Chains A and B, each alone.
Chain A
Amino acid sequence: MRMLRVGQWVTAIALLLLAGVYVRALAYTPVEATQGLAQKIFYIHVPAAIWAEAAMILVGLASIFFLFLKDPRLDRFAAASAEAGTVFAAIVLTTGPIWGKPIWGTWWTWDARLTFTLFLFLLYVGYLLLRSAVADPAMRARFSAVLGICGMVEVPFIHFSVYMFPTLHPMPIVLKPSAPSLPGSMLATWLFSVGVFTLLYVGFVVQRYALSYLGEQLEAAGESGEGHA
């Protein structure tokens, strides 16, 4: 199916570019003064975190539109975005400790930001579990939409909580009210990485959406002629 192809190509290109990000980050970007080599994970960790949260917001928006318009395409998109978001949240949760061990001396700490990324991940897992627990497609779509909207509304509360707790976690240096305080070449690498992750998100969602659609076609073909209620 054409959409699946497109999705696969986009993902492939994005992964290639991701390799490019690694190369640029490791070889062509200056090493940060206080943190040393470990800081470089920032180029993967932060864009993944941005998209982990953004994906949830998109799930929420798609869910709101779904409840009004009842278009199953919106439900498919929400499900695809949720799966992509789960992947990104998992990336954040694995790259975080990889950075944390050399810098903080520990794999994990119940620091506010880490904890809340964990809960973002749990939101996603809950969403996917709910989807798998409901057999009827119409009910599944409605329930997922309800959960998706609640999840989206929850994200700002999670975000604000970060500023309320004392934390070991580095404070935002790019996405903050004043101008980014990152020097030129580092900023460039960072922006490049954000672009790559955006592409990755698009690739995942398009593929997943296409797979959903194909799955539904297969089910309909299998069930038709088998019975009525």
Chain B
Amino acid sequence: MRSPDLLRHAWAVASKDLRVEFRSRTAILAAAVFVVLVLVVFKFGHDETAVSNSDLAPSILWVTFTFAAILALNRAFQLELENQALDGLLLAPIARGSIYLGKLVANLIFVATIELLGVPLVALFFNVPVLPFLGPLAAIIALATVGFVAVGTLFSAMTTRTRYAELLLPVLVLPFMIPPLSWAVLATVRLLAARPLSEIVGWLNMLAVYDVVFVALALMLFPATVNE
């Protein structure tokens, strides 16, 4: 299948997913509420003399982003199952890869929405200077998010068809989230502590490599999860 078709169909799937989510709004609201909740809880429990803001903030950011990702992932193929539409997607003359890419893009946009909400809120609540580092921070966040959503999207295609779908997905995905997540947290900590960029580039490279490898792998393996 030619690339323009692949991308066009992927975008059709993605915009359909986003439109459905926008209509029901359950997952996005749950994620947004969680962000605010976490911020408030940590703010109250935070002893500023013991732990500095810039040490705590990255962890908070990443906890909320990870939760948003899991919500998105649970929902992604669940949507097809609920509407029993997966067969329809598989019947259409589109490449299997389009379905995967479409779901991936929809999930990424979902998580990105939460990230756009979370970063300013954390900066505000915890007085962490974010604006001077916005570029590299965006890069870290983008790369890490692609990393764990890529694998998660692949796995959610499998888990929706199993018995304990919502329990199984986080268990399967956890070991795959930890490398990009830990690199992202470490990089974020250093970035917000105003350390030189040269210290962070290494982690950005690792994240980029991880992303390329796992998106490619997921594209190759996705057909095996839906074909019989």
Q: Which residues of A contact B (CB under 8 A)?
A: 67, 115, 119-120, 122-123, 125-126, 129-130, 133-135, 138-139, 142-143, 145-147, 149-151, 153-154, 157-158, 160-161, 164
Contact = CB atoms under 8 A, between A and B. Distances in A.
B224 A123 contact: no
A142 B178 CA distance: 25
Contacts, number: 72
- DSSP class of B's interface residues: helix, strand, loop or mixed? helix
A12 to B, nearest CB: 33
B179 interface: yes
B172 interface: yes
Contact of B224 (A126, A142, A157): A142
Most buried by A among B154, B182, B210: B182
Interface residues of B, number: 29
A158 B179 contact: yes
Contact of B175 (A119, A139, A145): A119
B40 interface: no
A154 B179 contact: yes
B202 interface: yes
Contact of A133 (B168, B214, B217): B168
B192 to A, nearest CB: 19
A154 B175 contact: yes
Contact of B161 (A123, A139, A149): A139
Interface string B157-173: 01101111000100110
A150 B171 contact: no
